[in-house]
Amino acid sequence: MDKIFLNGMKAETLIGVYDWEREQMQTLVLDLVIGIPEKTAVSDNIDDTIHYADVCDAVRSSLKNQQFLLLEALAEHVAELVLQDFGAQWIRVRIIKPGILPDVREVGVEIERSTDNV
Protein backbone atom coordinates (compact mmCIF):
# COMPACT_ATOMS: atom_id res chain seq x y z
CA MET A 1 0.00 0.00 0.00
CA ASP A 2 1.26 3.46 -0.88
CA LYS A 3 1.09 6.08 1.83
CA ILE A 4 1.38 9.80 2.32
CA PHE A 5 2.11 11.35 5.67
CA LEU A 6 1.69 14.59 7.56
CA ASN A 7 3.92 14.83 10.63
CA GLY A 8 3.83 17.48 13.30
CA MET A 9 0.55 19.06 12.22
CA LYS A 10 -0.70 21.37 14.95
CA ALA A 11 -4.41 21.73 15.60
CA GLU A 12 -6.45 23.34 18.34
CA THR A 13 -9.45 21.86 20.09
CA LEU A 14 -11.20 21.74 23.42
CA ILE A 15 -10.14 18.47 25.04
CA GLY A 16 -9.81 16.91 28.47
CA VAL A 17 -11.71 15.37 31.32
CA TYR A 18 -10.72 17.92 33.94
CA ASP A 19 -12.43 21.31 34.26
CA TRP A 20 -9.10 23.16 34.08
CA GLU A 21 -8.35 21.47 30.73
CA ARG A 22 -11.64 22.65 29.30
CA GLU A 23 -11.14 26.34 30.08
CA GLN A 24 -9.40 27.04 26.77
CA MET A 25 -8.41 25.41 23.51
CA GLN A 26 -5.31 23.25 23.59
CA THR A 27 -2.80 22.74 20.82
CA LEU A 28 -2.28 19.12 19.86
CA VAL A 29 0.30 17.64 17.51
CA LEU A 30 -0.92 15.10 14.97
CA ASP A 31 0.95 12.65 12.78
CA LEU A 32 -1.16 11.11 10.03
CA VAL A 33 -0.14 8.29 7.72
CA ILE A 34 -2.74 7.79 4.99
CA GLY A 35 -3.09 4.90 2.56
CA ILE A 36 -3.60 6.12 -1.00
CA PRO A 37 -4.46 4.39 -4.26
CA GLU A 38 -1.43 2.81 -5.94
CA LYS A 39 -2.52 4.27 -9.28
CA THR A 40 -1.26 7.66 -8.07
CA ALA A 41 2.35 6.64 -8.65
CA VAL A 42 1.54 5.45 -12.17
CA SER A 43 -0.79 8.24 -13.26
CA ASP A 44 1.23 11.15 -11.82
CA ASN A 45 -2.11 12.98 -11.58
CA ILE A 46 -2.96 15.07 -8.53
CA ASP A 47 -6.62 14.09 -8.87
CA ASP A 48 -5.71 10.46 -8.16
CA THR A 49 -4.30 11.18 -4.71
CA ILE A 50 -5.25 12.88 -1.47
CA HIS A 51 -4.25 16.52 -1.14
CA TYR A 52 -2.15 17.20 1.96
CA ALA A 53 -3.38 20.75 2.38
CA ASP A 54 -7.04 19.73 2.08
CA VAL A 55 -6.58 17.12 4.81
CA CYS A 56 -4.90 19.68 7.09
CA ASP A 57 -7.62 22.23 6.52
CA ALA A 58 -10.43 19.72 7.10
CA VAL A 59 -8.90 18.27 10.27
CA ARG A 60 -8.08 21.66 11.77
CA SER A 61 -11.52 23.05 10.95
CA SER A 62 -13.32 20.02 12.34
CA LEU A 63 -11.31 19.92 15.57
CA LYS A 64 -11.78 23.63 16.15
CA ASN A 65 -15.55 23.08 16.11
CA GLN A 66 -15.57 19.93 18.26
CA GLN A 67 -15.12 19.07 21.92
CA PHE A 68 -13.66 15.84 23.22
CA LEU A 69 -13.06 14.30 26.60
CA LEU A 70 -10.54 11.70 25.44
CA LEU A 71 -7.73 11.64 22.90
CA GLU A 72 -9.01 8.23 21.83
CA ALA A 73 -12.33 9.75 20.73
CA LEU A 74 -10.54 12.57 18.97
CA ALA A 75 -8.31 10.12 17.09
CA GLU A 76 -11.35 8.09 16.03
CA HIS A 77 -13.01 11.29 14.76
CA VAL A 78 -9.95 12.20 12.67
CA ALA A 79 -9.66 8.67 11.27
CA GLU A 80 -13.32 8.61 10.24
CA LEU A 81 -13.09 12.06 8.68
CA VAL A 82 -10.12 11.14 6.48
CA LEU A 83 -11.46 7.70 5.53
CA GLN A 84 -14.92 8.97 4.64
CA ASP A 85 -14.29 12.44 3.25
CA PHE A 86 -11.07 11.75 1.36
CA GLY A 87 -11.51 8.15 0.27
CA ALA A 88 -8.41 6.93 2.07
CA GLN A 89 -8.01 3.17 2.27
CA TRP A 90 -6.19 3.12 5.61
CA ILE A 91 -4.99 5.60 8.22
CA ARG A 92 -2.74 5.75 11.25
CA VAL A 93 -3.50 8.67 13.57
CA ARG A 94 -1.03 9.62 16.29
CA ILE A 95 -1.99 12.47 18.57
CA ILE A 96 0.35 14.08 21.08
CA LYS A 97 -0.83 16.26 23.95
CA PRO A 98 2.40 18.03 24.90
CA GLY A 99 3.19 19.36 28.35
CA ILE A 100 0.09 18.00 30.07
CA LEU A 101 1.90 16.03 32.81
CA PRO A 102 4.79 17.26 34.94
CA ASP A 103 8.12 15.71 33.99
CA VAL A 104 6.56 13.99 30.94
CA ARG A 105 7.44 15.50 27.56
CA GLU A 106 4.31 14.27 25.85
CA VAL A 107 1.42 11.86 26.15
CA GLY A 108 -0.78 10.63 23.38
CA VAL A 109 -2.60 7.93 21.53
CA GLU A 110 -2.15 6.10 18.23
CA ILE A 111 -4.81 4.22 16.31
CA GLU A 112 -5.04 2.52 12.93
CA ARG A 113 -8.22 2.19 10.92
CA SER A 114 -9.13 1.00 7.44
CA THR A 115 -12.20 1.15 5.29
CA ASP A 116 -12.97 -2.32 6.65
CA ASN A 117 -13.48 -0.73 10.11
CA VAL A 118 -15.79 2.09 9.05
Catalytic member of 3, 10, 64, 97: 97
d(CA 17, CA 80): 22
The dihedral of CA 33, 38, 41, 47: what is its sign? negative
Local structure of residue 17 (DSSP, 8 states): S
39 is catalytic: no
Report, as residue numbers or ranges, the catalytic residues: 97
